[in-house]
Chains A and B, each alone.
Chain A
């Protein structure tokens, strides 16, 4: 069953010293398997899983006399150290870790081998679906429909097979609109506000090109959303300069800035020099909180457009798979008490991130420590979690879930026993790795919900939660940050 054993030259080493933060050093046996590092300290015979190899972002080797030290830096930002007697063993272990932590093929990953006795593979997959959302939202029935235009993923490879669009716009127009939008991500419904029926739509940027092309289908689609009302808003998350540039160059990936920001932030957090000024300077320099700040204030603006001004909004950035999702999710947390419940929040993540085609596998291939040449890595989801955390700080009674859930999710997206965050889109999930997938994966939601008690802060009061109207976050001073 276990694959890739050709990568393991030394499976066991005795007398290894393990150092972890906040724990005393341990001496024991280290074992490498296809997916895990195991460690046993002899005292109690059972060995335990130290970590998933997938969680390892970077390692550093150092020779001290005849033994070697491996420093393991994890994607969840944990750092630990192994002192391994024998240089050869050390190098073998290191090369195993390097090879096995970077497996490219999805079906070799651990979720395909994870078989806990208490979970069945035949239960329902996921918590929510497009159809379910549509059926639950009565306000949509009149003017909106669920379309199957993307059922073979040919119109937009990163969209799910079902999306919600205005009833008056036929599939042909949708295809036209998709050709006019980067990656085919035509405007689809993300959220319908329960109070006034106004909606948040999202898409990717229009490909107007240098000669300012137009697209009738796209224009009709937006017109249908506005319908009778006088106007609707379009919030473009790009800067004017970016927008100008894409007109000339035709779009591209912009996650690099955020990835660099995270790297700088983590570096700043790792500096234990106890110098407050240097810390603040590095924190400022990382710009991480600036990203948090602007995501929150844009979400606040979006919520105001919908709630106070009573208009529908189309939201897009460049690709429509990253910042667009952050802002739309945050706005929904601000607007809708249901999203602030534990299951509502998980449904929101499933709808707005997994179904909506946030490319988890590309974005989370590496975290802040890796020396590998970065490709499509970007901590967009981490940014969302930090923003949600900041909202929890401002409204300690508004969320049913606690920080523990956010921390857990931050781990699960990078390395997980579960299949929930595997792949980049529904298409990859259901066609490329096809049937394997359907049969073998477990999903993280069930586990999270089972640990509900743990994830739930004592202080949450259901009454205040459900009756709470729109939150008004203040984003002019965000005073703290998450250190994961």
Chain B
């Protein structure tokens, strides 16, 4: 509480961004976790904004009616307030700026968030997602793949999970040697196994090849991966970076696989830009969403100028390439970028969504995020600025993955069990630090922070509320038969994600939702059917007596 100078300000005006005429007057409260605005009206409507969701606070020059304050959130909500006294406004800005930039993990909301669960339930909740079960579902371990204990206690690679799935034929020496030849020890390991074709998706970081270095263990590792797919005589190495970036890395002793040294590999560059490019691109997109009433040209020009959809397409292209290789050609793929925790996670998980109907279910998407992102050391706390830190580490990597899923939902409206709200909720939770799932940057940090003892898990919470996230158009049978999604990537298939970025329209309630309508219809017809069957039971008893009429 030491950061809060003024806990309560009265006569604050909340300005409606669409129609400034409709602004409301109320009281602003600052708590240790939230900013709360309570309207003075009879309804006493409350607006709660979590401090950890605040991206920045901006004070505009004081004018005769007061000091305007703009709160911009990481989920792209924007609140505009007018505070009568400049002194109060300065206090609020100072408090909020500090509160929204915690310096230590201990200050994060998840360590104080206490949803009234007993210890046993909380511990059980952390076991809700079981990655071993997911590999079992894929048929792993098998006679060709097994778990290695090489990364026990994170000895081999600090940012990897302790349990790694590798080809059985890879000896411990090969595993260790390969890890030594990869950036930050992130050696090639299994991410997804496609049962229908026996082709696999493996992931790693870039090799430390420089201009000429090679490692026979790493070469053997790739051989082992290729041979673990008996029907194919080559494998793809997908470098998700633009080729120029990959080449530039050679000067630093890193780079990409030399096709002459590795037998039977085909190298493919995809050209997803780096985190800095993505950060700038998203900022431009947010600016487009914030335009108060843009002309069509302003809007389209802004969208084009942001390049955002181009980047989304690049990520989707990577997924499509991998999915096609695995499902249609039956060829295994090793995916990497530089460190193998951003673009690699995007490419692998998009490919998995395309390949496997399970990841298009509510539970399946949770598993996928837990596997490809959390366990494989995607740097959540750095990328989503959980702590006050290096702004150059921040980048909307996960935003892009969620948007790729959303773009696919537009093309395949019946293929996903969840709706858009689920994705938006995930997005908010990744930034909000309310639950422990996304705190820290890798599994080891999770363990060191004792997250399972000190925080709660998001997944069971979402699961309990799954009724909110169900897509009524979902057809489970359809996705069983049409397992692999063949996504179109023609330019005009990519759309502006209005519910995420177009918040000028967020507060509009008169929008009708076909999904909700369908849900109601579904419930109604279920009720009617129940009634019908209960009515049908009655005449059966009197059938005998009425049998005569039926002959007539």
Hey, which bits of chain A sit against chain B, CB under 8 A? 269, 271-281, 283-284, 287, 289-290, 292-293, 394-398, 459, 461, 464, 472, 474, 476-480, 483
Contact = CB atoms under 8 A, between A and B. Distances in A.
B518 interface: yes
B536 to A, nearest CB: 26
Contact of A461 (B490, B511, B517): B517
B300 A289 contact: yes
A396 B300 contact: no
Interface string B483-522: 0000001111011101000101100101111100110010
Nearest to B410: A480
A456 to B, nearest CB: 14
Nearest to B516: A397
Contacts of B495: 479-480
B310 interface: yes
A292 B502 CA distance: 19
A277 B310 contact: yes
A291 to B, nearest CB: 9
A121 B352 CA distance: 59
B260 to A, nearest CB: 31
Given A289-B296, A472-B510, A476-B294, A280 B309 contact: yes
Which of A269, A287, A290, A459 is packed against the most chain B CB atoms within 10 Å? A459
B51 to A, nearest CB: 30
B514 A396 contact: yes
B307 interface: yes
Interface residues of B, number: 35
B301 interface: yes
B259 interface: no
Given A272-B491, A274-B491, A477-B505, 4 more contacts: A287-B297, A394-B511, A464-B517, A476-B292
15 contacts: A269-B492, A275-B310, A277-B304, A279-B492, A280-B303, A284-B296, A287-B297, A289-B296, A290-B296, A395-B512, A397-B517, A459-B514, A476-B293, A476-B505, A477-B504
B514 A272 contact: no
Given A397-B512, A480-B495, A280 B502 contact: no
A13 to B, nearest CB: 33
B290 to A, nearest CB: 11
Contacts of B313: 274, 276
Contacts of A287: 296-297
Contacts, number: 85
A221 B305 CA distance: 51
B297 A459 contact: no
B498 A479 contact: yes
B143 interface: no
Interface string B511-537: 111100110010000000000000000
B234 interface: no
A477 B492 contact: no
Contacts of A289: 296, 300
Which of A271, A279, A289 is packed against the most chain B CB atoms within 10 Å? A279
B496 A397 contact: no
A480 B296 CA distance: 11
A183 B172 CA distance: 90
A464 B512 contact: yes
A284 B512 contact: no
A269 B512 CA distance: 30
B110 to A, nearest CB: 35
B262 interface: no
Nearest to B502: A477
B412 interface: no
B512 A398 contact: yes
A476 B289 CA distance: 11
A41 to B, nearest CB: 26
Contact of B491 (A279, A293, A459, A472): A279
Contacts of A284: 296-297, 300-301, 304
Nearest to A290: B296
A231 B69 CA distance: 41
Interface in B23-59: none
Interface in B298-350: 299-301, 303-304, 307, 309-310, 313
A272 B490 contact: yes
B492 A483 contact: yes
B295 interface: yes
Contacts of B293: 476
A278 B491 contact: yes
Contacts of B492: 269, 279, 283, 483
A308 to B, nearest CB: 13
A269 B490 CA distance: 10
A464 B504 CA distance: 26
A279 B307 CA distance: 11
A289 to B, nearest CB: 5
A464 B512 CA distance: 10
Contacts of A280: 300, 303-304, 309, 491
Given A283-B300, A474-B508, A479 B517 contact: no
Interface in B446-497: 489-492, 494-496
Which of B296, B495, B513 is packed against the most chain A CB atoms within 10 Å? B296
A128 to B, nearest CB: 28
A394 B294 CA distance: 18
A268 to B, nearest CB: 8
Contacts of A272: 490-491
Contacts of A477: 294, 299, 496, 498, 502, 504-505
Interface string B275-298: 000000000000000001111110
Contacts of B297: 284, 287, 290
A464 B505 CA distance: 22
A191 to B, nearest CB: 22
A276 B292 CA distance: 25
Contacts of A394: 511
Contacts of B505: 474, 476-477
A111 to B, nearest CB: 34
B295 A293 contact: yes
Contacts of A397: 512, 514, 517
Contact of B310 (A276, A292, A474, A480): A276
B496 A479 contact: yes
A337 B73 CA distance: 39
Nearest to B489: A274
Contact of A459 (B294, B309, B490, B518): B518
Contacts of A281: 304
Contacts of B498: 477, 479
A293 B517 CA distance: 28
A476 B518 contact: no
A290 B295 contact: yes
B523 to A, nearest CB: 13
B304 A479 contact: no
Contact of A476 (B491, B504, B513): B504
B514 A479 contact: no
Contacts of A483: 492
B517 A459 contact: yes
B491 A478 contact: no
The 6 closest A-B pairs by CB, nearest first: A279-B491, A280-B304, A284-B300, A290-B296, A397-B512, A396-B514
A309 to B, nearest CB: 15
Contacts of B309: 276, 280
Nearest to B512: A397
Nearest to A284: B300
Contacts of B512: 395-398, 464
Interface string B122-134: 0000000000000
Nearest to B301: A284
A294 B146 CA distance: 62
A292 B304 CA distance: 19
A276 B494 contact: yes
A274 B494 CA distance: 10
A472 to B, nearest CB: 6
A471 to B, nearest CB: 8
A27 B296 CA distance: 45
Contacts of A396: 512-514
